Amino acid sequence: MKLLNFVSQYPDEASCRAKFKEYRDKQGVICPHCGGKAHYWKKDKENYEGKACGKRQSLRANTVMHGSQLPFRYWFIAIHLLTSTKKSFPPRNFNVS
Ligand SMILES: [Zn+2]
């Protein structure tokens, strides 16, 4: 996926957060307090709440974004650049002369 397509697919913070949540849900959210896997999603606070213990964790908890104040979109673009670079490394037009 080209960066421009990527950027237009995720034009704002909301779309990035929604995508990131989808990703976390797919990976499975694990409670850092009790290890429980079942969570409620608190949309207003953007937190997961453990069904077993009621403790909350943020959408960013236990991810690369943990503790970061940077916008999700920033991370999305950075991660996209890293992974797309990895796939085509070294880039074809990379001139080593
Ligand atoms: Zn828990």
Residue 35 within a domain: yes
The rounded Å distance from CA 80 to ligand 1 centre is: 31
| Residue 58 three-state SS | strand
The rounded Å distance from CA 23 to ligand 1 centre is: 20
pTM to 2 decimals?
0.73
| Residue 47 three-state SS | strand
Domain that holds residue 36: 3-85
Q: Give the number of residues written for the chain.
A: 97
CB-count burial class (<10 Å; 0-12, 13-18, 19+) for 10? buried
CB-count burial class (<10 Å; 0-12, 13-18, 19+) for 44? exposed
Residue 37 within a domain: yes
Question: Total structural domains in the chain?
Answer: 1
Taking only the tens place, the pLDDT of each residue in 28-78 is 999 999 999 999 999 999 999 999 999 999 999 888 888 888 999 988 888
The rounded Å distance from CA 44 to ligand 1 centre is: 20
Residue 45 within a domain: yes
